[in-house]
Amino acid sequence: MDEASPTGEGGTALLLPGQGSQEVGMGRSLAERRPAVAELWRRAEEVLDVPLRQICWEGPGEELTRTENAQPAILLHSYSVWRSLPEALRSSGAVAAGHSLGEFSAYLVAGALDFEDALRLVRRRGELMARSREGTMAAVLGLEGDRVSEVCAGVDGVVVPANFNAPGQVVISGEAEAVRRAGEEASRAGAKRVIGLDVSGAFHSPLMEVAREGLAEALQDVAFRDPDFPVVANVDGELVRDAGGARRRLVRQLTSPVRWVDVIERMRSLEPDRWLELGPGRVLAGLARRIDRSLEVVTVGTDEDLEGLDTA
């Protein structure tokens, strides 16, 4: 079985950020104050042969933002936070989800992947995506997802919805000219703003097909286990409890939209007692509030955040 029904048993819902949440200085306070985290960063540099501490803590920002660097950096930071959580919180994990790259982090914290394998996978994923430099992306604000899908379908060329992030917040992706025309049509259809994104390619679109093939090969070389608790998949908002379902969905994810609204709604159906965002930034906490104003997501990314964490 690829999925499980909601249990309504409470516990902790974990959100793992994706690319774009990186920032210079990320993870430094954790590594400087926690020897176990410092060892994780040392091991990561050894595994990847990349100076992640220098890139993440000193920059420049352009180097950190490179897709092949940002992806392992964010996964490493999120996992550092997870490993630093009090045992009572770690043992209360009930469901996890990550935005795009963050879905790999979700499987890592859920015990489906080994740390070193996860690092190699997301570094490879980043390299493959960086090579697929064709196309671009844009955020469409103030227009609902169904209408954005209709706009994209009516434009010649490759352009598709890539992220259904929140009501009235959809990212489109594809060939540069098609994205431009879709943005113009979206504005005529009532979008409040269309904002071009500074990205190196058309992520979550058919233009990622070459990267998808390479990722499928990389995933076949990695040992996957059934996760300790379910992970909600980006591609369909379903709960995944088995290794096979995880592999298939991670491959599909590269060329499919991130259905984040569906993800959050599925997590809500489990009625978790608390929500935590683990890693850099507060993007997912903000999106969760836009999806459901009643959701209170605590962001945990620094040593100070951990010290102030309520474990009751």
The answer to whether residue 105 is catalytic is no
Write the single-letter amino acid at 95.
Answer: V
Query: Active site residue: 173, 204, 205, 256, which one?
Result: 204
Q: Which of 78, 80, 84, 100 is catalytic?
A: 100
Active site (annotated) includes residue 100:
yes
Phi, psi (5° rounding) for residue 56?
A: -75, -35
Instruction: Please give the positions annotated as active site.
Output: 100, 204
